[in-house]
Structure 1
């Protein structure tokens, strides 16, 4: 028997979806700069007759009202990354963008947000073409700035839930290096919280031949970074997941000058709020303590960004899981452990006390034992047709779990 998802997707215009995807992939934009992407989304919603408004700067919100019923929100993120694409695709990005500090960088959809946008637009097109299969209100949230944990907050602060109908659940998904046609979903914690810090340690500048006249910030910084690794290995229960990574270190201008400062950045990932607070407190204690031992001034610790919790409400996750199994096939849906990647998606529901559900879908045609390129790599390129088919089907199946009017009873 044909499933409701099959009915909704029976006459989907895949050629149009592919054209949209290729355009988005070739024209990515940096976080909170997604102006052309927002224009494209707005134009597509206008063509479908879907009312919409701008929100959070470069965010777009569409509202489809189709009779009585629940209100469900579905989010797709829109921003690209400062990566030089190396996929070899004929529609590969050659775009550039400008960071906040004025640096011009290459830009790529290296995390698949073009897949997310196109899948949600396709789901909206399919649902508006089959209004007899569902009833209620669907809020389409095209969110900017996910990569810098700024977009969800910007939309909430700009009155998202005062301007759009308040949903009973917020749904979202992410393409991953998994086999197309498959979905992973977690119950409870779905993704890690993430905190990024910039640390500046100060010393005393001197000639390289006179180290006794200096306070060496490079040595100080090296000791701090080495000691930070003991937080996970020596301060947390071995059964408690956490990551403390230093991704950059900058100091000095010449090999024979001991500089007066060094700067490094940290990326911290945790699953539980109490663990997050413990790790952050330990970071600040170690940074301050090592400076004191070195006789150096108090360092400066600045927050770069902070990703909120991405938590799947267990009851709603079970409901979505059942719908995904119905829509994609029983053997194509797995209950998965949470991942250390991070998302600001959870804030959209958390800000108004609404449950949310987030899952991962596969976007690659993989042979047994074959591995796909990982997100944020220069060769990350989901297989266009299979990835969009999976993302669109998963979105429709999950939405119908709340809004569907299944004639099978």
Structure 2
């Protein structure tokens, strides 16, 4: 992964670096894709990424926040830029038909074996981070500062970013001046999308237990039926968005799981719910969660529940806000690298990420001022299919294409991998270049 870029304009130097590193990075990507690992189980993935970064001359530390990898390339005085790539996979059976498709199974959270697949492209993200590291390692004469590559575990359960921060990411290593990251999306391969300000939603999944007093289905008056209470809860929760959220705000409240009982003539002792909440404002998000708890407690009291409901936070992340000044700076670097025609305006997404913990001092638990974050999107749809997809705008076309978490989703085309490597390198050089 070496190159000589002396005398080349920066755009061509980045392209030459991508060309030089591409073969090894593509091989790395295909191996990671074929052998995915679930959140906080990414031992082999982390080992392979760490070895690749060590070979490039980075100072590498393993086991940060569980299975995370931190790699530093120090190159004199200057800013510190953090490039983040996530690396965990999902419990999905792959249906892509690739020669290197995953056939891996692993133990799921319930202790039962599940198929595992990189259906969100985290293998792509971490490979691109290594590839960008290779490009920048070959361009050290043209920049000053510290490059910090972070391979993060457990993004899919919103656990890895906080785990690494809690393990001293910013105290043991370096506190970055800017945090950069990217995600693939079914936009046109070779294009890069940006959005300043509010970009992705906060998300909380609550587990709730509603208690009753079970008995025979023929004698309901001698029981407290938690199924009826849960049914009222589901119905009443729909009023939060309609009657408690300002109409100009976007909030989603979804009851994705409701389980109770074993057969029709038995009234059970309890009912289990899982509730997912998404919004773009952290304060409003807390307000909605408080409303959910208030409603559930009130319905349990109205239904004569023998004891209060139980609440558990199963997963949680804050809203993503791209710093506008930093986003403009990175976008300009991408314009110079790719040209204006290859950039697009990314619509705001109701999906969620734990990436913002790296920038929000209070939420991330690291104190001091917030750190500017920029998170952009790289397209993965081949040109021929993109042209055949209905719609005019990027958002319209994406509605007709597979999204991440589909068993058919495959973002690892050569054009996407090259673009992701170059986008991270160009973003870092927007701060590091001399």
TM-score by length of 2: 0.90
Q: Equivalences for 1:103-252 in 2 at 5 Å?
A: 103-252=112-261
The CA deviation at 1:383 is 4.2
Residue of structure 1 in register with 2:402 after alignment: 373
| Aligned residues of 1:5 and 1:393 also touching (Cα < 8 A) | no
Residue of structure 2 in register with 1:34 after alignment: 42
The CA deviation at 1:37 is 0.6
| Aligned residues of 2:61 and 2:71 also touching (Cα < 8 A) | yes
Residue of structure 2 in register with 1:72 after alignment: 81
Per-residue CA deviations over 1:281-334 (Å, capped at 9, x if unaligned) read: 110011111111111132111111210232111111111111111112202222
| Aligned residues of 1:5 and 1:396 also touching (Cα < 8 A) | no
Distance 1:209 1:132 in 2: 81
| Aligned residues of 1:291 and 1:299 also touching (Cα < 8 A) | yes
The CA deviation at 1:347 is 0.9
Residue of structure 2 in register with 1:350 after alignment: 360
Q: Secondary structure at the match of 1:40?
A: helix
Distance 2:9 2:236 in 1: 56
| Aligned residues of 1:189 and 1:338 also touching (Cα < 8 A) | yes
Distance 2:27 2:428 in 1: 24
The CA deviation at 1:271 is 0.7
Residue of structure 2 in register with 1:264 after alignment: 273
Q: Secondary structure at the match of 1:268?
A: strand
RMSD: 1.6
Distance 2:376 2:182 in 1: 5
| Unaligned runs of at least 5 residues, structure 1 | none
Q: Secondary structure at the match of 1:228?
A: helix
1:101 matched to 2:110: yes
| 2:292 pairs with one of 254, 265, 283 | 283
Distance 1:326 1:277 in 2: 41
Distance 1:291 1:191 in 2: 33
| 2:13 pairs with one of 7, 20, 30 | 7
Equivalent residues, number: 405
Distance 1:20 1:274 in 2: 41
| Aligned residues of 1:80 and 1:107 also touching (Cα < 8 A) | yes
| Aligned residues of 1:18 and 1:384 also touching (Cα < 8 A) | no
Structure 1 ranges of 4+ moved more than 4 A: none
Residue of structure 1 in register with 2:428 after alignment: 399
Distance 2:82 2:406 in 1: 30
| Aligned residues of 2:201 and 2:279 also touching (Cα < 8 A) | yes
The CA deviation at 1:2 is 6.8
